[in-house]
Structure 1
Amino acid sequence: MRQHFNWQGGNHVELMVDGEAFYPVMLEAIAEARSSLLLEFYFVISGKIVDRFIEALSDACRRGVKTRLIVDGFGARLLSRVDRQRLQAVGAELVVYNPLQLNKLTRNFARDHRKLMLVDERIAFIGGTGLADEYWLSERPGCPWHEVMCKVQGPVVADLVSVFNQLWFRCTSQRLSPPSPQPEVGQAMAKVTTVQGLYQQDIKVAFLNHVNQANDRVWLVTAYFLPSFSIRSALRKAARRGVDVRMLVAGPYTDQFWVYHASKRYYRRLLNAGVRIYEYQPRFLHAKVGLVDDWVSLGSCNLDHWNLRWNLEANLEVMEPELTAQVEQLITRDFEQCSEVTAESWARRPWHRKLKELVWALISQIVLKIK
């Protein structure tokens, strides 16, 4: 079933940067839950962070909070059987989206990449995090990962609950109660947008519409830079008409090295059109944020070929001066920790880098043609 949502006023949206900021707030919200907890996460790996969440969720279950979790069959493959049993033992309902099976063939590529947590259908958390040590406590080089989440209150929360409820019904055939309308609590205009594979591409359509109408700036933050032709074309056209177009992408630290190399095939034409490209250096950039003039979109979607073809995604669009200013400050600080790629330096890169980029670009094209 397709889901389309309208802009809603009266919301409060709080930006939180990196795990040390958002995990404590999320855990505190779980501790204060009184009726329901709905969680939907792609990347879930047993470790210290998962331990903290299981303890908090277990306490909530013991005091009568109805707790439901949807985890992805691939992204949560390293969530141990013991941890799953810990959740189920206290009464939490755990659903695995599209478990991996050999006989499914390419249907195994369809993944739930969304990152949502809904507390009492009153407070929502949305962004790009998973439940894993990589986002806060990891000791690996280049970690913890750089990520953002938002805490959301107001009428738009009901739409995020609807997103969860629809997938719960799809996975379990259990229809949950419709979300209750929420009172206005702030000044932010907000709208939920989703991707459901090739079936529904609202996040991409919204981004393209705003880029095509941009007057001042288009700043895109993405972990995996494999944009569709329509997005690349829109970015080039915006830059040529004088819009400040900048891409903030992952640098040498990444969990998908092939994407890092394959994405380089798009650099030359973008740079020649006037697009500025920044590669983040300190650690893995995992955030997904779009800032077009005063419009902000953030959530789970990287706007890459793979996300848009196979995944379930959820973003929140926001129009609110304070949040826009916070996002602008965040991205500006991140630019300062980047190495900017210029057209001149790109033309001078050595032949062996060009060869590596070509090989991975060809492989990525083959993979993306899989049906």
Structure 2
Amino acid sequence: MRQRFNWRGGNQIQLMVDGEQFFPAMLAAIEQAESSLLLEFYLAISGKITDRFIHALTDAARRGVIVRLIIDGFGGRGLSRADRQRLQAAGIRLVIYNPLQLNKLTRNFARDHRKLMVVDERIAFIGGAGLADEYWLSERPGCPWHEVMCRIEGPVVADLVSLYQQLWFRCTGKSLPAPSARPDQGPALMKVTTVQGLYQQDIKVAFLNHVNAARERVWLATAYFMPSFSIRSALRKAAERGVDVRVMVAGPYTDQFWVYHASKRYYRRLLKAGVRIYEYEPRFLHAKVGLVDTWVSLGSCNLDHWNLRWNLEANVEVVEPALTAQVEQLIRADLEQCTEITASEWSKRPWYRKLKELVWALLSQLVLKIK
């Protein structure tokens, strides 16, 4: 079932950068929940931050809050059996999306990559973080991962509830009560956009439409830079007509080193067209943020080949001057911690780097041909 949402006014949105900001806010919201908690996470790994969430969720369930949790079958492999038993013993309804099975073959590639939490159908958190210490304080080099979430109140929350309920029905066959309308809370105009594999690609379409109409700037931060031809073409054309096009990607700190090398195959033509490319150095850049003129899109989607082909993704589009200013400030600050890749320097890289990039690019193309 295709699910599309309309623009809704009257929303309030707060940008939260890194786990030090968004995890305490999410935990506080759980502690204040009165009726329901809906959680959906791709990544769930037992550890310090997950333990804090389990404590908060079990406390909520024991005081009568209905708690529903969807975890992806692949991304949730690191959630221990003991932690799953703790959740279920407290009465939390735990659902695993698409559990891994050998007889499913390529259907195992279909993953729920969304990151969403809704409290009392009133407050929503959405972005790119998972329940894992990688997003929290860590002593390992390159950590914690650089990520953003946003806190939302207002009419658009009902659409996020509806999105969750559709997946719950798909996984369990059980319908949940229709979401109630929410009163206006602020000035933000917002829209929920999704990707459901090749079946529905509204996030990509929205990004392309805004890039094609851009007049001043197209700034994109993404963890995995494996964009489709249509996105690469749109970025090049925007730069060629004088738009300030900047792409910030993960540098040497990454959890997918093959993507880091394979993505380099796209640099030459983009740089030649005038696109400015930056590699983020201090940590793993895991944020997914698009800023086109005054329009903002953020959420779980990286706009790469794999996300767009196999995953469930969820973003919010936002038009609100204060958020636009916040996102601009965030990207500018992050760019100062990047190494810019220039066309002249790129042409001088050694042959062995070119060979490594070619090998990983060819392998990535083979993977994408899997059906």
Sort the TM-score into its range (normalised by shorter chain): over 0.9
Q: Aligned letter for 1:127?
A: G
CA offsets per residue over residues 190-225 of structure 1, 9 Å max, x none? 000000000000000000000000000000000000
Aligned partner of 1:280 in structure 2 is: 280
Does 1:242 find its partner at 2:242? yes
1:110-149 CA-to-partner distances (Å, cap 9, x unmatched) read 0000000000000000000000000012222110000000
CA deviations over 1:140-171 (Å, ceiling 9, x no partner): 21100000000000000000000000000000
Corresponding residue for residue 110 of structure 1: 110
Secondary structure class of the residue paired with 1:184: coil
Distance 2:354 2:318 in 1: 39
Match of 1:332 in 2: 332
Moved more, 138-147 or 353-362: 138-147
Partner in structure 1 of residue 48 of structure 2: 48
Identity of aligned residues (%): 80
1:344 matched to 2:366: no
The residue that corresponds to 2:125 in the other structure is 125
Give the letter for the 1:159 counterpart. Answer: D
- Partner of residue 21, structure 2: 21
The reply to whether residue 319 of structure 1 matches residue 319 of structure 2 is yes
1:349-360 alignment, distance < 5 Å: 349-360=349-360
1:167 corresponds to: 167
Distance 2:350 2:162 in 1: 51
What displacement does 1:358 show? 0.2
Q: CA deviation at 1:354?
A: 0.3
Letter in 1 for 2:2: R
Q: Which residue of 1 aligns with 2:60?
A: 60
Higher alpha-carbon deviation: 131-140 or 187-196: 131-140
Q: Which runs of 5+ in 1 are unaligned?
A: none
- 2-structure distance, mates of 1:51, 1:44: 11
Give 1:338 shift: 0.1
- SS of the residue corresponding to residue 106 of structure 2 reads helix
The alignment partner of 1:193 has SS state of strand
Q: Which residue of 2 aligns with 1:221?
A: 221
Matches of 1:327 and 1:137 in 2, distance apart?
23
Q: TM-score, normalised by structure 1?
A: 1.00
Structure 2 counterpart of 1:232: 232
Question: What whole-Å deviation, never above 9, does each CA across 1:1-48 have from its counterpart, x for those lacking one?
Answer: 101100000000000000000000000000000000000000110000
- Range 129-138 or range 186-195, more displaced: 129-138
Deviation per CA, 1:314-350: give whole Å up to 9, x if none: 0000000000000000000000000000000000001
Q: Deviations over 1:215-238 (max 9, x none)?
A: 000000000000000000000000
For residues 301 and 290 of structure 2, the distance between their equivalents in structure 1, rounded to whole angstroms, comes to 10
Give secondary structure in 2 for the equivalent of 1:307.
Answer: helix
TM-score by length of 2: 1.00
- 1:200 partner SS: coil
Q: Name the residue aligned to 1:201.
A: 201
Q: 2:265 is matched with which residue?
A: 265
Measured in 2, the distance between the counterparts of 1:219 and 1:187 equals 23
Amino acid aligned to 2:307: N
Amino acid at match of 1:277: I
Question: Aligned to 1:95, what secondary structure does the other structure show?
Answer: strand
Point out the more displaced range, 282-291 or 131-140: 131-140
Write out per-residue CA displacement over residues 70-109 of structure 1, whole angstroms, 9 at most, x where no aligned residue: 0000000010000000000000000000000011000000
The one-letter amino acid of 1:247's match is V
Superposed CA RMSD in Å reads 0.3
Partner of 1:305: 305
Whichever residue aligns with residue 75 of structure 1, its letter is G
Q: Could you tell me how far apart the structure 2 residues matched to 1:102 and 1:141 are?
A: 35
Distance 1:274 1:7 in 2: 33
Residue in 2 aligned with 1:69? 69
- Counterpart of 1:11? 11
Read off the aligned partner of 2:36 and give its amino acid letter. Answer: S
Indicate the SS of the match to 1:218. Answer: strand
Q: Partners in 2 of 1:140 and 1:201 — Cα distance?
A: 36
Structure 2 letter corresponding to 1:163: L
User: What's the secondary structure of 1:234's corresponding residue?
Assistant: helix
Residue in 2 that maps onto 1:212: 212
Separation of aligned partners in 2, 1:113 and 1:184: 29
Q: Which stretches of structure 1, 4 residues or more, deviate above 4 A after TM superposition? A: none
Structure 2, gaps ≥5 residues long: none
What is the CA–CA distance in structure 2 between the aligned matches of 1:68 and 1:18, rounded to whole Å? 25
- Name 1:31's counterpart in structure 2: 31
Aligned to 1:323, the other structure's residue is in SS state helix
The aligned amino acid for 2:303 is L
Matches within 5 A, 1:96-107: 96-107=96-107
Measured after TM superposition, the shift of residue 243 of structure 1 is 0.2
> Are 2:92 and 1:92 equivalent residues in the alignment?
yes
- For residue 369 of structure 1, what is the aligned residue in structure 2? 369
